Amino acid sequence: MIRKNQFSIYKNSNFFFSSSSQWHGIEISYKNETLKLKVDYRHEQNSLYGISFTVGNKIIIGSSLKETGAGLVGCMRDLRINGVDIEPRFVVKTERVVGEIALDNCQFVDPCKRPNTCEHNGKCVVKNDRVTCDCKGTGYVGQNCHFTVHRKTCEELALLGYTQSDVYLIDIDGNGPLPPAHVKCEFQNSEDSTKTLTIVEHNLPSQVDVRSPNFDDFYYDIKYREFSAEMLQELISHSLYCTQHIKYDCFRAPLDLGSATWFKSSHKNNDTIIDYIGTSKR
């Protein structure tokens, strides 16, 4: 704002910042009737008002004469006017201070960085001093993207009347931190939801050679579609039972469980060694 002989000129300038939690440099200079505004040493705006003025004994920083209560929400440092560094302690002690000001206590936090502002990868947007969450594509709804739109299990889908066996999205921990994932639901009995199967697909081929006189040691890391080990354990905790079928066809190539063949379970950080299948132990 420029005030000259009871007349005021207001100039609004808008700049976009990728992050509101970073420090920004703002420089305002006046020379040859031209007012220059520079932000972060690269964004620049020049305005020619055709008037001349000098800096008086009052400069308003971080406040507004138009709106009561409007002003800077954040932190300022390295203030300099006409080449002279301004000591904030001297300014704070004057009676011209409006609002709350703290020294050496910059605690400004980006609203989008606060815990649980937007959950489940919701997009945080700050507009008109308000924080909003865009939950599109997350599988969650609500002000903070907290509430899931998916069911926990295929059994819950069966209780809702689903009868078509197909691939569905489920959210095994509801509103918890684990993301939704695709599973295949097989509804075997429309009158008994406990007969519903939840199938998690994996990357093990239907047929693969694992041992031969010409082969080196064989190792295969089985991955489950969209499921981490933690998510598998959560699904198992909701299930009546859990099974996995492995078929081994051999000709003069025994499994030799324990000494030559074993499996590592995803349970307990992959520390559990499975060296038996069914009743066949080493």
- Domain closes at, from 141, 159, 180: 141
Q: What is the pTM of this model?
A: 0.55
Residues 94-100: what's their mean pLDDT?
69
The whole domain housing 115 covers 111-141
- Total number of domains in the chain: 2
- 134 and 63 part of one domain: no
Q: Does residue 68 lie in a domain region?
A: yes
Residue 87 domain-assigned? yes
Give the residue from 250, 252, 265, 262 showing the smallest Cα distance to 217. Answer: 262
pLDDT surpasses 60 at 8? no
Same-domain check for residues 31 and 70: yes
Give the residue among 62, 63, 16, 9 at the shortest CA–CA distance from 39: 16
> Among 139, 157, 156, which Cα is nearest to 148's?
139
**Residue 88 and residue 117 share a domain:** no
pLDDT digits 0-9 by tens, 27-46: 777 777 677 778 877 767 66
pLDDT exceeds cutoff 60 at 264: yes
Band of residue 145 on the pLDDT scale cut at 50, 70, 90: very high
DSSP letter assigned to residue 261: B
In this predicted structure, the answer to whether residue 68 has a pLDDT above a threshold of 70 is no
